[in-house]
C-alpha cells in the first residue's frame, strides 16, 4: 500500500442510492476522496451520515439500489466487510460493541495480522506486537491494564472511543472513516482522540470524519467540508463552511439546494 501517492483517488462514490427496509436513505450521493486529504461530513440528524459509513464498511442490512463506490480502483461494494478492512478501510464506530471475554490485545493482534497478511507482510510475533501497541497506547494515554480487559467490556463512552482510535493507529489504515468519534467526549478526551487521528495524517492516507459538531474540526482541521442532507452531498467547501454551519444551522443549505 506504500505505493499510494498524495493526490491518488482513494475513494470514489458515484450516484450511490441506498435503502433500509424499503426506506431510501441515500439518493445519488457523489464523493471523491484523495490520498492526503481529510474530509468532514456534516449534516442534520437522519441525513444518512451513519448509513454512508456503514455501507462503505460493508454492513449487510442495506440495499444498494444504484451507484458505485470504487476503493483504490476496486469495486468496494462487491467486497465482503473483512476484505475491505484488510485492504485498509477502517471504520471507527459510533457505538462500539462489547465483546465479553475477548481480550483487547487478542483482537488487536488478530486484526493487525489480517491486515499485514493482505499486504504481504509477515505476521508480527507477540514481542514486536507489544512494542507497537505500547507506543500507540502512550499516544492515546491509555493504561496497559486495558489490554487484558474484554473488548469494550465495561468501558465508559470515552474509553470506547479512545479504543477505536487506538485500533486505528495500530492498523494504520489507508482510509479511516470515523463515525461521530467526538460524541460523548469531554474536552481532554477530545484532544487525545484528535492527536491520535492527526498522528495518522499522511500523504498516503485519507480520513473521512462524520460529525455533528464543528468543535472536532478545531482539533482535526479538514481540507474539505461537505453537507449531507436528504441522502446526498448538497454543498461542499473548506473549513469556513463548517464555521458558517455552526453559525447559521443547516436550513439555508437546504433552501439553497431547493432553489437550485
Partner 1 sequence: MSSTPQDLEDLVGQKYQHGFVTDIDSDTLPPGVDEDVVRVISRKKGEPAFLLDWRLKAFRHWQTMTEPHWAQLHYKPIDYQSISYYSAPKSKKDGPKSLADVDPKLLETYDKLGVPLHERARLAGVAVDAVFDSVSVATTFKERLSEAGVIFCPFSEAVKNHPALLEQYLGTVVPPGDNFYAALNSAVFTDGSFVYIPKGVRCPMELSTYFRINAANTGQFERTLIIADEGSHVSYLEGCTAPMRDENQLHAAVVELIALDDANIKYSTVQNWYPGDENGVGGIYNFVTKRGECRGRNSRISWTQVETGSAITWKYPSCVLSGEGSVGEFYSVAVANHMQQADTGTKMIHIGRNTRSTIVSKGISAGRAQNTYRGLVKILPSADGARNYTQCDSLLMGDRCGAHTFPYVEVRNPGATVEHEATTSRIGEDQLFYLMQRGLSQEDAVNLIVNGFCKSVFKELPMEFAVEAQNLLAVSLEGSVG
Distance CA 144, CA 140 (A): 11
Binding mask 88-117 for partner 1 (x = CB under 8 A): --xx-x--xx-xxxx---xx--xx--xx--
Where do we find the cell 489504515? 173
**CB of 66 or CB of 110, closer to partner 1:** 110
Does residue 205 interact with partner 1 by CB under 8 A? no
Query: Cβ of residue 54: shortest distance to partner 1, in angstroms?
Result: 8
**CB of 13 or CB of 91, closer to partner 1:** 91
Query: Cβ of residue 111: shortest distance to partner 1, in angstroms?
Result: 4
118 burial via Cβ count (<10 Å: 0-12, 13-18, 19+): middle
Where do we find the cell 480487559? 149
Does residue 148 interact with partner 1 by CB under 8 A? no
The secondary structure of 49-86, three-state, reads HHHHHHHHHCCCCCEEEEEEEEECCEEHHHCCHHHHHH
Does residue 120 interact with partner 1 by CB under 8 A? no
**CB of 72 or CB of 233, closer to partner 1:** 72
Does residue 82 interact with partner 1 by CB under 8 A? yes
Q: Which of 57, 72, 137, 206 binds partner 1 (CB under 8 A)?
A: 57
Joined grid coordinates for residue 121: 507482510
Distance CA 59, CA 18 (A): 12
Q: Which residues of 144-168 are buried (b: 16+ CB within 10 A; e: fewer)?
A: eebbebbbbeebeebbbbbbbbbbb
Binding interface with partner 1 (CB under 8 A) = 57-61, 80-82, 84-86, 90-91, 93, 96-97, 99-102, 106-107, 110-111, 114-115, 118, 150-151, 167, 171
Amino acid at each position: 500500500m506504500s505505493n499510494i501517492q498524495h493526490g491518488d483517488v482513494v475513494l470514489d462514490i458515484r450516484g450511490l442510492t441506498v435503502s433500509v427496509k424499503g426506506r431510501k436513505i441515500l439518493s445519488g450521493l457523489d464523493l471523491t476522496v484523495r490520498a492526503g486529504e481529510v474530509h468532514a461530513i456534516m449534516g442534520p440528524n437522519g441525513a444518512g451520515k451513519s448509513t454512508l459509513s456503514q455501507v462503505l464498511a460493508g454492513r449487510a442490512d442495506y440495499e444498494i439500489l444504484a451507484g458505485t463506490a470504487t476503493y483504490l480502483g476496486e469495486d468496494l461494494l462487491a467486497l465482503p466487510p473483512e476484505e475491505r478492512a484488510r485492504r485498509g478501510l477502517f471504520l471507527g464506530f459510533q457505538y462500539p460493541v462489547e465483546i465479553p471475554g475477548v481480550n483487547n490485545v487478542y483482537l488487536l493482534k488478530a486484526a493487525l495480522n489480517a491486515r499485514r497478511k493482505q499486504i504481504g507482510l509477515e505476521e508480527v510475533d507477540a514481542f514486536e506486537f507489544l512494542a507497537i501497541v505500547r507506543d500507540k497506547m502512550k499516544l492515546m494515554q491509555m493504561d496497559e491494564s486495558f489490554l487484558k480487559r474484554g473488548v469494550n467490556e465495561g468501558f465508559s463512552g470515552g474509553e470506547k472511543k479512545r479504543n477505536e482510535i487506538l485500533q486505528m493507529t495500530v492498523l494504520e489504515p489507508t482510509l479511516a472513516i470515523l463515525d461521530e468519534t467526538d460524541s460523548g467526549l469531554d474536552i481532554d478526551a477530545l484532544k487525545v482522540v484528535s492527536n491520535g487521528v492527526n498522528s495518522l495524517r499522511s500523504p498516503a492516507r485519507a480520513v473521512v470524519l462524520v460529525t455533528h459538531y464543528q468543535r472536532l474540526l478545531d482539533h482535526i482541521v479538514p481540507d474539505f467540508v461537505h453537507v449531507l442532507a436528504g441522502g446526498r452531498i448538497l454543498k461542499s467547501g473548506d473549513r469556513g463552511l463548517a464555521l458558517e454551519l455552526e453559525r447559521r444551522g443547516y436550513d439555508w443549505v437546504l433552501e439553497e439546494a431547493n432553489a437550485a
